[in-house]
Structure 1
Amino acid sequence: MNYFKLKEKQTSVKQEMIAGATSFFALSYIIIVNPLILAEAGIPAELSVFGTILVSAIGSILMGLWGNAPLVLTPGMGVNAFFTYTIVGSMGLSWQQALAVVFVSSLIFIGVGYTSISKMLVDAIPDSLKHGITAGIGLFLVVIGLENGGILVDGGANSFIALGDLSQPIVLIAVIGIFLSGVLYLRNVPGSFFIGIAVITIISLITGIHEVGDSSFSLSNLTEFPAIVGAFDFSVLFSIPFILAVFSLTMILIFESIGLFEGMLEDKTRFTSAFRVSGIMTLVSSLFGTSPTIPAAESASGIKAGGKTGLTAVTAGVLFLLSLVFTPLLSYIPNAALSPVIVITGAIMMENLKHIPFDDFSEWFPAFLIIVMIPLTSSIVDGLAFGFVAYPIFKLAKGEFFAVKKAMHVVSFLFLLTMIAISLI
């Protein structure tokens, strides 16, 4: 275990494994949800579930061993929606052609990761925006957690969001879980989040509040998985829709990864290796017939549970492998047990608000746009776009246009192009 430098990081094998388990359980929903979303693009869910599990396992283990970072890689929820509803749905590409788009985008991603471009991009981003990214992702997690627990629901015609029915036992137990997990965290109880998940799960099962769902997942389908492996179709390689899809997806992958790494990676020296792992796993995702992986925002739950090294990611990766056999057991864990962990993790990430200079409107307003637009659009990259495009505009208004780094101007312009390109699709 000297490889992970546990003593140097003031952590232990037990602490890292608990953190890894916390991240895994917070992300376990992706095993079922991602295949269902990709099924709408035409990829058989009973096959893409293997791709989802394998890329999550390989990516997390690789992130741990090579990147030595406590971050879990899984197919991104916003990215899979872009794959299905934009590339396939709006642009009219087949899912095989969409996989070809992911393949080409991954090559560009890797190219950026192995040149000085990635460091140049990170150095160009102002600190206020970096803190805004962290806080924005945190607020996004809070909304996700509250929705998963039924505490927030669709408001219908009157409001886009509303308070859930607190008289429902499953919703009430999610509220109790937030207080329980919050108190345990406040008291610095080791494995506080994992304990919270376990306690709420046990209570929900004993009281009958949570009904165990059926799982249609079958390990016997594994023999058919090769049917979607490497199923690329490059027949439309030079068409306008294909080129637009590659440009948009590349921007999303690169800058969403940068945003997530900047928001969650406490040891910034691990950025380059972690970024490269993310690029390589995008390539692997295309080969395995699934949407691209990204550093999952829910990894922050493991980090806040004490994860500091790559052993956290390796633990989560091993659990993803084990889920090939034990996936049906995940149905025993209610969303009400996972909701509190995600909510509290998001709230903790919002502490970065204190580092934003609120005495300078040109600094905090672009950061504010990122913070509110990420959860309101349910897209990290859309939130980044608003903040990054706004930053040089407000600096120009203040007379500090040339104080903005040239690379930041380029990034802002690329985000503007991305917004235009997506709106034209």
Structure 2
Amino acid sequence: MTAPDRPGLRPKPPPPEPRSGHGTLDRYFSLSARGSTWRREIVAGASTFLALSYIVVVNPAVLGQAGIPRAAAFFATAAVGGLATMAMGLWARLPFAVAPGMEMNAMIAFSVVGALAYTWPEALGMVFWSGVAMLAVSLLRLREAVIDAIPRRMRTALAAAVGTFIGLVGLQIAHLVVTSDGRLSGLGDWTGSPAVALYVGLAVALGLDALGARAAAVLGGIAAAALYCAFAGVTTGPGPDGLHGGGAALLRFDLTVIADPKAWSVILVLFALDFFGSIAKVVGLSAGTPLQDGTGQVPGMRQALLVDAGATVAGSAAGSTSFVAFVESAVGIRAGARTGIAAVVTGLLLFSCLFLGPLLAHVPVEATTGALVFVAVKMLTALRPVGTDRLGLAVTAAAVVTTVATLAIDQAMAAAFVVSTGASVLRGRRPHPALWVTTLVLTASVLLQYLSL
């Protein structure tokens, strides 16, 4: 009589099968393959949202200077940004948030409408056409070709530029530095409440990180800074009024502006900012993370670029300027985001702002500054030079210095390409043809920005 046949004994039941839905989602998002967990992705997605939540208040305020109804700009920011970020997670399966780029909204408000005297419907028409051009080059995989041609030293330089930019955003929000016309113009108040909020958040984040609490470092820093802001009375001012008036700019863009030759230079500048800025951000954010495969490429890149371009087209129809992959995604990536699940969480929270608009007035944007500077510090200290190549160090230095001088990722990218390509020529080497073309186009786009606006 075998053991299972003995009276009173039952065979040991087999282990339970994993739920099919859970296993399917795990495989779809490569959750286990990238060494992540559901909890980590959800916390990281929330971290990204907290870091970029200021955009739902700041973007309408900036575009309001151009005459765009603030309620419409708020609706476009939350609705289009939320849906695009969810699409980034579900289709591209990457943890990148999508939101209106600050460099674009300032350009539209103060240069295109303010200086060039275009109406805001005409300005939104220019944004629309730049988005259409972005869709075209993304479908033709031209942006992917540029990304594939970027050498390793350039990827390190772009990661350094993105890290520097994130840190400068935190310093600017905390009023530690002052900007004028999109450029650093001096030091601000290093003893005021916003500055102290940064110090508190950064200190808590660094302390928790030293204890190995990766996600808790970011969330703890934001929570500590928010608590300080509550006691210090630091607020962001009046918040948006929910869905009321959200359709005021719907389809109000003026597409006939394409017939105006003077508008072409603006469209080209918007296109260049989006084209090269998105490349720099995606490459910089993914550098040194499991988001890249063994060859240094980012799976889902084509889908991510199409989401970015499609969001710009949709955003212009709703009342906002160009949408981009947001550098604050680095906060979630630092907290452990490795899959599109984090982006879905961020997108849902961003979309929920449509129904929680009045509460945003009580969310101090200064509470996020410590987390932003913390992520910048971790990104920059994690960089490793490529061998002992002094050219790599020179390219990285050029990108960082240009970022500080211009607060523009695309111009930092241009500086890195010029130094790398120029040094290769002086050394008697022949750069890849794609690098030649990219260097020339980048240089031309930067010159066009300064000459036309």
Q: Tell whether the structures are fold-level matches, with TM greater than 0.5.
A: yes
Structure 2 letter corresponding to 1:390 = V
Structure 2 letter corresponding to 1:242 = A
Structure 1 counterpart of 2:428, from 376, 393, 399:
399
Q: Secondary structure at the match of 1:235?
A: helix
Deviations 1:106-145 (A, max 9, x none): 1221122122322211122222122111111101111221
Q: What residue in structure 2 maps to residue 177 of structure 1?
A: 201
Q: Secondary structure at the match of 2:247?
A: helix
Q: What residue in structure 2 maps to residue 209 of structure 1?
A: 232
Deviations 1:141-168 (A, max 9, x none): 112212323444579xxx93336333x4
Report the CA distance shift for 1:36/1:73 in structure 2 as closer, same or farther (over 3 A).
Answer: same
Deviations 1:226-279 (A, max 9, x none): 331122213332332221122221111111111111011333112122112111
Q: How does 1:191-340 map to 2 (within 5 A)?
A: 191-205=216-230, 208-212=231-235, 214-219=237-242, 221=244, 224-265=245-286, 266-267=291-292, 268-340=298-370
Aligned residues: 414
Q: How does 1:406-421 map to 2 (within 5 A)?
A: 406-421=433-448
Structure 2 letter corresponding to 1:349 = M
Structure 2 letter corresponding to 1:218 = D
Report the CA distance shift for 1:242/1:214 in structure 2 as closer, same or farther (over 3 A).
Answer: closer
Q: CA–CA distance in 2 between the matches of 1:17 and 1:340?
A: 21
Structure 1 letter corresponding to 2:355 = V
Deviations 1:356-375 (A, max 9, x none): 455333x4323322112123
**Distance apart, 1:384 and its partner CA:** 1.6
Identity between Structure 1 and Structure 2 (%): 25
Q: How does 1:103-118 map to 2 (within 5 A)?
A: 103-118=128-143
Q: Secondary structure at the match of 1:354?
A: coil
Report the CA distance shift for 1:160/1:307 in structure 2 as closer, same or farther (over 3 A).
Answer: same
Q: Secondary structure at the match of 1:324?
A: coil
Q: CA–CA distance in 1 between the matches of 2:261 and 2:367?
A: 46
Deviations 1:380-424 (A, max 9, x none): 112222222333222222222x2x111111111111221222222
Which moved further from structure 2: 343-352 or 196-205? 196-205
Q: What residue in structure 2 maps to residue 355 of structure 1?
A: 385
Q: Secondary structure at the match of 2:338?
A: coil
Structure 1 letter corresponding to 2:189 = G
1:210 touches 1:334 (CA, 8 Å); kept in 2?
no
Higher helix share: 1
Report the CA distance shift for 1:153/1:391 in structure 2 as closer, same or farther (over 3 A).
Answer: same
Which moved further from structure 2: 339-348 or 113-122? 113-122
Structure 1 letter corresponding to 2:203 = F
**Distance apart, 1:54 and its partner CA:** 1.0
2:201 touches 2:220 (CA, 8 Å); kept in 1?
no
Q: CA–CA distance in 2 between the matches of 1:170 and 1:43?
A: 29
1:103 touches 1:282 (CA, 8 Å); kept in 2?
yes
Structure 2 letter corresponding to 1:88 = V
**Distance apart, 1:214 and its partner CA:** 4.7
Q: Cα RMSD over matched residues?
A: 2.2
Structure 1 letter corresponding to 2:315 = S
The question of 1:138 aligning with 2:163 is answered yes
Which moved further from structure 2: 308-317 or 344-353? 344-353
Q: How does 1:97-108 map to 2 (within 5 A)?
A: 97-108=122-133
Deviations 1:336-356 (A, max 9, x none): 421111001111221354234
**Distance apart, 1:296 and its partner CA:** 0.5
Structure 1 letter corresponding to 2:280 = G
Q: CA–CA distance in 2 between the matches of 1:296 and 1:251?
A: 16
Report the CA distance shift for 1:214/1:179 in structure 2 as closer, same or farther (over 3 A).
Answer: closer
**Unmatched 5+ stretches in structure 1:** none
**Distance apart, 1:170 and its partner CA:** 4.7
Report the CA distance shift for 1:200/1:225 in structure 2 as closer, same or farther (over 3 A).
Answer: closer
**Distance apart, 1:33 and its partner CA:** 0.8
Q: What residue in structure 2 maps to residue 7 of structure 1?
A: 32
1:177 touches 1:336 (CA, 8 Å); kept in 2?
no
**Distance apart, 1:213 and its partner CA:** 5.3
Q: Secondary structure at the match of 2:67?
A: coil
Q: Secondary structure at the match of 2:355?
A: helix
Task: State the TM-score, normalized to the length of structure 2.
Answer: 0.85
Which moved further from structure 2: 23-32 or 96-105? 96-105
2:239 touches 2:361 (CA, 8 Å); kept in 1?
no
Q: CA–CA distance in 1 between the matches of 2:197 and 2:450?
A: 41
Structure 2 letter corresponding to 1:93 = Y
Structure 2 letter corresponding to 1:236 = V
Which moved further from structure 2: 316-325 or 86-95? 86-95
Q: Secondary structure at the match of 2:257?
A: coil
**Unmatched 5+ stretches in structure 2:** 1-24, 293-297
1:19 touches 1:191 (CA, 8 Å); kept in 2?
no
Q: What residue in structure 1 maps to residue 401 of structure 2?
A: 372
2:82 touches 2:348 (CA, 8 Å); kept in 1?
yes
Q: How does 1:382-397 map to 2 (within 5 A)?
A: 382-397=411-426
**Distance apart, 1:19 and its partner CA:** 0.7
2:97 touches 2:343 (CA, 8 Å); kept in 1?
yes
2:81 touches 2:99 (CA, 8 Å); kept in 1?
yes
Q: CA–CA distance in 1 between the matches of 2:319 and 2:124?
A: 7
Structure 2 counterpart of 1:67, from 86, 92, 101:
92
Structure 2 counterpart of 1:148, from 173, 176, 201:
173
Q: Which is greater in Rg?
A: 2
Q: CA–CA distance in 2 between the matches of 1:336 and 1:417?
A: 37
Structure 2 letter corresponding to 1:304 = R
2:193 touches 2:232 (CA, 8 Å); kept in 1?
yes
Q: What residue in structure 2 maps to residue 187 of structure 1?
A: 211
